[in-house]
Each structure stands twice: as structure tokens, then as C-alpha cells.
Amino acid sequence: MTHSSRSPLALVALLSMAVPLAACNIDVQKHKSDGKADVDITTPVGHVSVRTNVGAADTGLAVYPGARPLEGEKEPRNANVQVGNSIFGVKVVAAKYQSSDAQERIVDFYRNEMKTYGDVLECRGNVNYRGGRPTCREKPFEDDLQLVAGPEENQRIVAVKTRGDHTEFGLVHVQTRGTN
């Protein structure tokens, strides 16, 4: 192949890669108060959206009385992340808190709070789903406790752990569509 016949092929290859990139849109909105940012990325095959500084209400769960946002972490204490396209999607909203109350008091509060979403499963270890229902993969001697309610495509999770003189807990709402 001569040099002149390779150039059109190279140009076609370059254009085929550049056209999808030209169709991408990246939007970053920086928060003036804390320097964090919200990001939206749109491509021809889907989108990604990340929001920080969301409220716990977005998880569908109340904040334990007297709890305060988790301190001393560099990453955001809460976020709303959405990934998807017209066929599938995943949305995860999470918020982290701490309280000086004992783990058991916080767990009791959320056992009652989560009943609105169905049976509440309590796990020490990881949570899996079988047949659309949550199951536990227990870890012996695990101090961290997870409460889970709701079907796999619309679940609420509360993870609670004791850390020194306080209790940390995370509120999570996971929604999926088109992942069957």
C-alpha cells in the first residue's frame, strides 16, 4: 500500500473515533461553599451524573435524631450517582453520619424506620440477592451491621459500625432498571 492510499484510511479511522467524542458533553458545576463539584457527562451511549451535598431525604430514610455528618473524611460525605441510558440505569444515593449513641440504639431506630420498605434483613457481613430478595453472607466476628429492605431494584441499606467513642452509619438507596 502506498503512502497516498493509507492517508484516507487513517483519516476515516481518526474521524470515526472523533465523531463520538465530539458528541460528548461534560458539564462541571463547582460549589462555591466547599469547592466540590457536580458533574454530568453525556455521550451517545449513555450518561453519568454525580451530585454531592445531597440531603439524607434523598435516601428515603430519616436521619437518626441528634446525628451529624461524618467528620474528618476527605471524600464527600454524601452523593447521588446515576449511570444509564435508555436500556438500563443505576442510581445510588448515599449519606454518612455519626452519633455518640450506641450502635444498638441506632440499629433499633432503623429497624423500625425501614419497615416501610418491606421486611428488614439484618446482616453481619455482605448482602447478596437471590431471586430478587436479599440474603446475608455472614462473616464471623464482624462488628459492622447492615440492615436491608426492599427488592433488588429498589433497595434501602443502613450500614452501622462502632468506631471508638462514636457510631458511624451510612444511609443508602439503590435503584436499578433494565438489569435483568
| pLDDT for residue 2 | 47
| pLDDT for residue 109 | 98
- Using pLDDT thresholds of 50, 70 and 90, give the confidence band for residue 113: very high
Residues 6+ apart with CB under 8 A from 175: 89, 90, 91, 153, 154
Rounded CA-CA distance 62/116 in Å is 12
Q: Where are the alpha helices (DSSP H) in the chain?
A: 3-22, 103-114
* Domain spans, the chain: 53-177
pTM above 0.95, yes or no: no
pLDDT over 50 (residue 155): yes
